[in-house]
Amino acid sequence: MKKYSTEMYVIGLALLLAFAITTLNTPTVFPQETVLFSKAVRGPLPISDPESEFWTTLPSIQFPVAGQNITTPMLLGVPIKQLTVNSANNGTWIAFRIEWSDATRNVNTSRTEAFRDAVAIMFPILNETKPPFLGMGEAGKPVNVWHWKGDWQQDIDTGFQDLEHAYPNVQVDYYPFANTTQPNTIPPLTNFSVNFVAGWAANNPLSNPFKVTPVEDLIAEGFGSLTHQTHQDVIGKGVWKDGRWRVSFARPLSTSDGSDVQLRPGQTRFVAFAVWNGENSEVDGRKSISNWHTLQVESVFPEEGILVSRSLWQVAGVGGAFVLSVAILLAVAHDWRRKTRAKQ
Amino acid sequence: MPKVYNWQISREMQYPYDGVRPKRQFGAVFNINRCINCQTCTMACKSTWTFNKGQEHMWWNNVETKPYGGYPQAWDVKTLSKLGPQRWENGTYVGKTIFEDAPQGAMVLGYLPPDDEWRHPNIFEETPTPYPQIDGGKTQGWSELPVHQTFFFYLQRICNHCTYPACLAACPRKAIYKRPEDGVVLIDQERCRGYRKCVEACPYKRPMYNPATRISEKCIACYPRIEQGLVTRCIAACVGKIRLQGWIKPREEAIPDSPIDYLVHLAKVALPLYPQLGLEPNVYYIPPRWGPREYLKQMFGPGVEAAIEKYTHPDHELLGLLQLFGVTQKIIERFRVTDTDAIAYDKNGHEIIRVPIEDPVIVRPPQHFNTT
Ligand code: SF4
Ligand code: SF4
Ligand code: SF4
């Protein structure tokens, strides 16, 4: 038998390497880190209008996202996508708008094979110099995830998408313990019959047909530990038009919930993003993710920082104006909170 | 990935978690030879657990007619063809399990059946299948034993509460757990987020997606009944008395007077369903005597010939134990066979029931010949 030459081994090794590199997918983590500037503005933010002109007046940053391949289940073989993100804050609320192209609008999950479009923002809860593990935090280093879901948005826009949405001709004789006649839509059940809708009876937020916000406020300490928070503090809205999703998120900068990230004007924090394409059965770890980036929350009153160098009367004058503006701002924010609550 | 021992394939295999066996493992034996396909089991489960909105397509227990029946459609053929041809060698499976053949980036080799495959639990199955190649065409009639030239049989299916569940392995949230007290595998309805990884991973397709709650559900082995020492609804309701529930040990630790251990490990008359997939499923089947052997071997592994032989010519003890199928709602922990009777005991050693191995022949006296 002829022996293989060294060259053949080298070529073979090179081929093997090339094969491994091409099939093992490119690494998820992007080396470059980008700063997302949350611009300070006065007055209300167009929280429930992701299509507002307002967002185009803000600095916009493009974040590349790639298939998650740190842990199973992985998303392999999808092209790198881009999320365009803007942010603004008015000293009380912070808002984000994320935009990306997606040819299909997937907002119904009734069929076994149907998955939703979704997008999420992640913050480390602790304000440390290094971000935690990108895989949704780590033990002792929790992350706060704001997860917008296409199907929740649709439930809010058009009412709970019951069985009849996916199967218009569904016909059942009756459901025991349901106090309705045909077509037996889910929400009007008796208190007792709710016990037979297992997920709802177990208080699973995914099974609750009454949706208040399309954005779920979650906490996690690593893969698989994602948990719905008792206090839901994030609101938002997503609109799909002409092959693009535009989704807004908003939350008061600070909350009284220990499971939330607390943001302050003037602060710099880490932030990361993830996006799911329902059409490609993307769900759970099968998502495209960004690296950690920096979020810089601009202060509404940048002159605050240089006040000390001014003469006393100047300080008094600016101070008075400051107190007045804070009062106005609080009133505006209060009004906003009321309005957004009323909408839900 | 850790290695675990799977006695059904006589070797160690890869599994994402360490092989910790529960204190006791739920197990059952279904005797395919006696099933009449009445679907009473199916309705017993449906009317107990899956009668609400979003569960219309769910049959945690179903009985399908082989070879063409399948719920969801072609579930086994699809998984087997994904796995490709594999081999057993002298009772050891040398092929790949669904864990060992998982595609890159996934835990398990699986597929997600779309909703139309769940819709018709009994479609396409009324088709008897000629197997003229059996016996080289020597057998002429279609219903001659040992193998029918044209065959079908009923396959009764519930969740196997596997020792190495693929559903549990695939759930990235660890929302599926195996109870240490009885080995029952459950989906936590509070933690499940509807990812459907379990639906994709379970080769037996026992987790099902509920479109109304948007999360997955599965057979719960009627655990509230097990906790009271009662057999499950589908087992209690079985008209053909084909089912026996108890506890199963790994082969090396078999308890001779535990009914399931006896049937599976000692008599070796009951076999696991698709053991080559690597899950160590805990529902065992007495294979149908008339089924083509190659087909049955693919389904139940290499023990088929011996199991059918044993079932066809049972010894006295096996004959006795077979009488205890379907005679009580209580879980039989131990059994004993005397010359005349088979006796079942509960966990405290109290007698539950005693049945004669051969029913006495009672001749009606002449004056009652006409009474109806
Ligand atoms: S049969 Fe399927 S659902 Fe049941 S335990 Fe095994 S893998 Fe899980
Ligand atoms: S064990 Fe209980 S839940 Fe499971 S199939 Fe049988 S009746 Fe249904
Ligand atoms: S109730 Fe028993 S006999 Fe009837 S179909 Fe079910 S397993 Fe077969």
DSSP B1-29: --EEEEGGGTEEEE-SS-----SS-EEEE
Pocket of ligand 1 (CB under 6 A): B 159-162, 165-167, 185, 202, 204, 206-207, 218, 279
Specify the range with the lowest mean pLDDT, choosing from A307-311, B200-204, B337-341.
A307-311
Given an 8 Å threshold on Cβ–Cβ distance, is B197 in contact with A284? yes
The Cα–Cα gap between B259 and A180 comes to 47
Q: Cis link prior to B275 (omega < 30° from 0)?
A: no
Specify the range with the lowest mean pLDDT, choosing from A171-185, A328-342, B78-92.
A328-342
- Cα atoms in the Cβ-side hemisphere of radius 13 Å centred on A298: 20
Per-residue pLDDT, A43: 93
Residue A187: pLDDT over 60: no
CA A19 to the chain's CA centroid: 35
Q: How many residues does chain B have?
A: 372
From the list A193, A196, A207, the residue facing B214 with the nearest CB is A207
pLDDT level of residue A2 (50, 70, 90 thresholds): very low
Residues of A in contact with B53 (CB under 8 A): 162-163, 172, 175, 178, 184, 186, 197
* Better-scored residue on pLDDT, B275 or A339: B275
Residue A8: pLDDT over 50: no
* Least distant ligand from the CA of B238: 3
Among residues B52, B6, B190, the alpha carbon closest in space to that of A208 is found at B190
Give the start-end residues of each E strand in chain B.
3-6, 11-14, 26-31, 62-66, 88-89, 92-93, 129-130, 150-151, 153-157, 176-178, 185-187, 208-210, 215-217, 243-247, 271-272, 283-286, 334-337, 341-345, 351-356
The Cα–Cα gap between A67 and A75 comes to 5
What integer is the mean pLDDT of A18-44? 63
CA B342 to the chain's CA centroid: 24
Among residues of chain B, what percentage have pLDDT more than 70? 95
The model's pTM is: 0.87
The Cα–Cα gap between A112 and A258 comes to 36
Q: What's the one-letter identity of residue A339? A: K
Per-residue pLDDT, B207: 98
Q: What's the one-letter identity of residue A232? A: Q
* Better-scored residue on pLDDT, B68 or A17: B68
Given an 8 Å threshold on Cβ–Cβ distance, is A163 in contact with B210? no
DSSP, collapsed to helix, strand or coil, labels residue A167 as: coil
Q: What angle separates helix B293-300 from helix B304-312, to the nearest 10 degrees?
A: 110
* Better-scored residue on pLDDT, A302 or B24: B24
Report the gap between the CA of B147 and the closest CA in chain A (Å). 39
Q: Do B304 and B346 form a contact (C-beta atoms < 8 A)?
A: no
pLDDT level of residue B160 (50, 70, 90 thresholds): very high
Residues 6 or more apart whose Cβ sits within 8 Å of residue B145 = B289, B290
Backbone phi and psi for residue B334, each to the nearest 5 degrees, phi listed first: -135, 155
Burial label, B263 (beta-carbon count in 10 A; 0-12, 13-18, 19+): buried
Per-residue pLDDT, A344: 39
Token code pair at residue B61: 């227990």
The Cα–Cα gap between A153 and A344 comes to 12
What integer is the mean pLDDT of A226-240? 97
The Cα–Cα gap between B106 and A75 comes to 9
| Domain at A34-154+211-308: CATH code | 2.60.40.1190
What integer is the mean pLDDT of A12-30? 40
Per-residue pLDDT, A231: 96
Per-residue pLDDT, A312: 39
Sign of the CA dihedral running A258, A261, A266, A268? positive
Residues 6 or more apart whose Cβ sits within 8 Å of residue B147 = B131, B134, B135, B139, B290, B291, B292, B293
pLDDT level of residue A316 (50, 70, 90 thresholds): very low
Per-residue pLDDT, A15: 43
Q: What's the one-letter identity of residue B230? A: L
Mean pLDDT of all residues belonging to chain A: 82
Residue B222: pLDDT over 80: yes
Per-residue pLDDT, A172: 76
pLDDT digits (tens, 9 = 90+) for B328-353: 999 999 999 999 999 999 999 999 99
Residue B175: pLDDT over 70: yes
Residue A24: pLDDT over 50: no
Given an 8 Å threshold on Cβ–Cβ distance, is B54 in contact with A197? yes
Q: Mind listing the domains of chain B with CATH numbers?
A: 3-133+143-304 (3.30.70.20)
Q: Do B276 and B9 form a contact (C-beta atoms < 8 A)?
A: yes
Per-residue pLDDT, A323: 52
Residue A38: pLDDT over 50: yes
Among residues A284, A261, A258, A288, the alpha carbon closest in space to that of A274 is found at A288
The Cα–Cα gap between A220 and A204 comes to 17
Residue B20: pLDDT over 60: yes
Which residue reads 């289940």 in tokens? Answer: A73
Query: Chain B contact for A283, CB < 8 A?
Result: yes
**CA-nearest residue, atom 2 of ligand 1:** B202
Residues of A in contact with B112 (CB under 8 A): 112-113, 281
ipTM, two decimals, is 0.91
Backbone angle region of A71, left / alpha / beta, with phi > 0 → left and psi within -120 to 50 → alpha: beta
pLDDT digits (tens, 9 = 90+) for B273-315: 999 999 999 999 999 999 999 999 999 999 999 999 999 999 9
Q: Do B152 and B145 form a contact (C-beta atoms < 8 A)?
A: no
**CA-nearest residue, atom 1 of ligand 3:** B238
